[in-house]
Chain A
Amino acid sequence: DGGITQSPKYLFRKEGQNVTLSCEQNLNHDAMYWYRQDPGQGLRLIYYSQIVNDFQKGDIAEGYSVSREKKESFPLTVTSAQKNPTAFYLCASSQLGQGIWSPLHFGNGTRLTVT
């Protein structure tokens, strides 16, 4: 079955360390997205990519970095510059096409705890 795989499900890091969250999709979707979810705040867009080797900042990109070297992969690095990194991170993908708005498909998330 096609889908989005996020790993690991739980991640623990010490403050000051960079950490990379994995996101892989086998849906052959063009676009991929990273969202951050905090209680009572809904989902906020961190970065998105519509094509390989290109990506754009979302609403809360500071302290994060991404790469899109392959169509199916969009890893997110939470750097030590992110002041409050503990959160639930969701990866999503969607198909792009002229005149077509494709709903996002989500992975099951990674819960990052930084102490």
Chain B
Amino acid sequence: AQSVTQPDIHITVSEGASLELRCNYSYGATPYLFWYVQSPGQGLQLLLKYFSGDTLVQGIKGFEAEFKRSQSSFNLRKPSVHWSDAAEYFCAVGTGANNLFFGTGTRLTVIP
């Protein structure tokens, strides 16, 4: 069965600092991997996705993620965080039925 683990419930970073959000997955086949962002009271917006090919994928808002098969990880990174990046971030794995299985999320706080 598939599963997604986001080990950090809450992360606080200073504006301008670098960011890495962790995601580990378990899935029997080649995974389709996603990162979504959610602002309070809003829906989810797709940041980036990995289907195949280059293991470093670029997304919107300056985010990138690296797929590491040997570690079953898909960590999200940003070199310099902006105050507007404060939100909740969800990692997800796509299954064969075109469904998404989500992690429990990481809440990001950005301090000035």
Name A's B-contacting residues (CB within 8 A): 4, 6, 31, 33, 35, 40-45, 48, 50, 58, 90, 92, 94, 96, 101-109, 111
Contact = CB atoms under 8 A, between A and B. Distances in A.
B104 A42 contact: yes
Contact of A42 (B45, B97, B98, B105): B105
Q: Which bracket fits the contact residues of B?
A: 20 to 34
B60 to A, nearest CB: 12
Contacts, number: 57
Given A45-B99, A58-B99, A108 B42 contact: yes
Interface of B: 4, 9, 32, 34, 36, 41-46, 49, 51, 90, 94, 97-105
Nearest to B4: A42
Given A101-B32, A103-B34, A42 B41 contact: no
Nearest to A48: B99
Given A90-B44, A108-B43, A109-B43, A103 B49 contact: yes
B99 A107 contact: no
Contacts of B36: 106
Contact of B94 (A6, A35, A101, A105): A101
Contacts of B34: 103
